[in-house]
Amino acid sequence: EMIKQAKFLISNTDYKKCPSPDKPEFAFIGRSNVGKSSLINMLTNNKGLAKTSGTPGKTQLINHFIVDGNWYLVDLPGYGFAKVSKSLKAEWDKMIREYLTERENLVAVFILVDSRLDPQKLDIDFALWCAERGIPFALAFTKADKLSTSRIKENVNKFLAEMKTLFGDVPDYFVTSAENAMGKEEFVAYIEENVAE
Ligand code: GDP
Tell me whether residue 1 is in a domain: no
Range of the domain at 56: 6-196
CA-wise closest residue to 30 among 103, 133, 117, 88: 117
Residue 1 alpha carbon to ligand 1 centre in Å: 24
Q: Ligand 1: which atom is nearest the Cα of residue 112? A: 3
- pLDDT digit string, tens, across residues 78-133: 888 767 788 888 888 899 999 999 999 999 999 999 999 999 999 999 999 999 99
User: Is 188 part of any domain?
Assistant: yes
Which residues lie below 8 Å from residue 121, measured CB to CB, with a gap of 6+? none
The domain that holds 132 is classified in CATH as: 3.40.50.300
Give the span between the Cα atoms of 32 and 152, in whole angstroms.
20
- Does some domain include residue 53? yes
H/E run at residue 196: helix 184-196
Ligand 1, pocket-test mutation among 38, 73, 148, most atoms within 8 A of CB: 38
Cα Rg of the chain (Å, integer) = 16
| Structural domain count, the chain | 1
Residue 10, domain member (yes or no):
yes
pLDDT tens, the chain, 197 aa long: 799 999 999 999 999 999 999 999 999 999 989 999 999 999 999 988 998 656 655 668 999 999 999 999 999 998 887 677 888 888 888 999 999 999 999 999 999 999 999 999 999 999 999 999 999 999 999 999 999 999 999 999 999 999 999 999 999 999 999 999 999 999 999 999 999 87
